[in-house]
Amino acid sequence: MSVIEEKQSKAAEERLWSYTVGIANGAVTTCGTDPVTGLKGKEEESPGTGVAGVWCDRHFILTAKHVVEAAEVRDLRFFIRRVGELKSKHVSEISLDDGCEPVQLGDPNAVIYRCEFADLAVVTMEQAALGPMLEFFDAVAEWYEPSEGERVFGVGYPVSCGVEVDRRRIGAELRRSIVLSPVGFNGTVQASASGRYFGDFDPDRDYLIPYEHGKDGRYPKGISGAAVWVQSNDAHQVWAARYRFAGICTSCYRDGTIEQIVRASVVRRFLADVFGVPKS
């Protein structure tokens, strides 16, 4: 990556972190066996990512449908951007100080809507329900359909970029606590022929990008629901990191190196079904 691309990537991460939330779903419990101790292990909350947006005057968190599987609003917890700079850290450098407590959605009227034709879901909310640090992108106007070879950017909360900060035995079970750290990623849109790796790939609905962290063995679990973006070409007197929404991450190839994205136009169709077609 060139120096210009590195600076562009850093600017994207900082800007897009303001729209990004981590999501923990307490309705889903995953059980397994710890490979070290042999004890039964339990993952109490399944992690994912979401993006804050506004459709006309309706505010929401958009994510992948499987991130909110079996959940009601009360089952969800959200990780919101903290004050300060997003710093890319190696897993060994992440500590408990890098974590923050997830919060519930402070809106008794919030509703979860699930899409019937794509792996998408939206949680409606009042603008201030998750505090002042969250920004909302304009889902009606700020969107774009990238072509093959165009670069997209995203920020997500992958488990592989987190660190275990607590491990304790409770009866016959092993409980672990993990600090998640937001991570930027980017990639160029691949040829549609690459979709042969995915059983449910539809080139009219989806496109693919490489997930560069997967080459280092960091699987993208937790990226599901993250938004991807392209840089805006709109002319302004003062340059700033401005981006247009380009889709939602939903799944990855089995080795974690290719990510499947639902196109922005498909997301907009779903949002129009939920909130109504915007008036021209």
CATH code for position 249? 2.40.10.10
The residue behind tokens 């709109």 is 234
Q: Which of the 8 DSSP states describes residue 238?
A: S
Domain-embedded: residue 172: yes
Instruction: Read off the amino acid at residue 17.
Output: W
Domain-embedded: residue 39: yes
* C-alpha distance from residue 253 to each of 114, 117, 185 (Å): 23, 20, 16
Q: Which of 233, 260, 245 is nearest to 54 (CA)?
A: 245
pLDDT for residue 141:
94
Return d(Cα 226, Cα 198) in angstroms, integer.
19
Strands (E), 171-235: 173-179, 183-188, 206-210, 227-231
pLDDT for residue 239:
46
Domain-embedded: residue 87: yes
Return d(Cα 110, Cα 94) in angstroms, integer.
33
pTM of the model as a whole: 0.82
Q: Which of 108, 68, 63 is nearest to 223 (CA)?
A: 63
pLDDT for residue 173:
58
The one-digit pLDDT tens for each residue of the chain (280 residues) are 565 555 555 666 777 888 999 998 888 765 555 555 554 444 455 689 999 999 999 999 999 999 999 999 999 989 887 654 445 544 445 454 555 567 889 899 999 999 999 999 999 999 999 988 899 999 999 999 999 999 999 998 876 555 554 555 666 655 555 556 778 888 999 988 766 666 788 999 999 999 887 667 677 788 999 999 998 766 545 445 679 999 999 988 767 888 999 999 999 999 999 999 998 6
Domain-embedded: residue 157: yes
pLDDT for residue 86:
47
Domain-embedded: residue 280: no
What does DSSP say about strands 20-25 and 76-79: parallel, antiparallel, or unpaired?
antiparallel
The residue behind tokens 């950017």 is 153
Q: Which of 153, 163, 179, 178 is nearest to 249 (CA)?
A: 153
Domain-embedded: residue 118: yes
3-state secondary structure of 207: strand
The residue range of the domain holding 84 is: 3-275
Return d(Cα 157, Cα 23) in angstroms, integer.
9
Beta bridge partners of 42: 31
Total tally of structural domains belonging to the chain: 1
Dihedral of CA atoms 59, 220, 87, 90 in degrees, nearest 10, equals 160
Domain-embedded: residue 62: yes
Domain-embedded: residue 201: yes
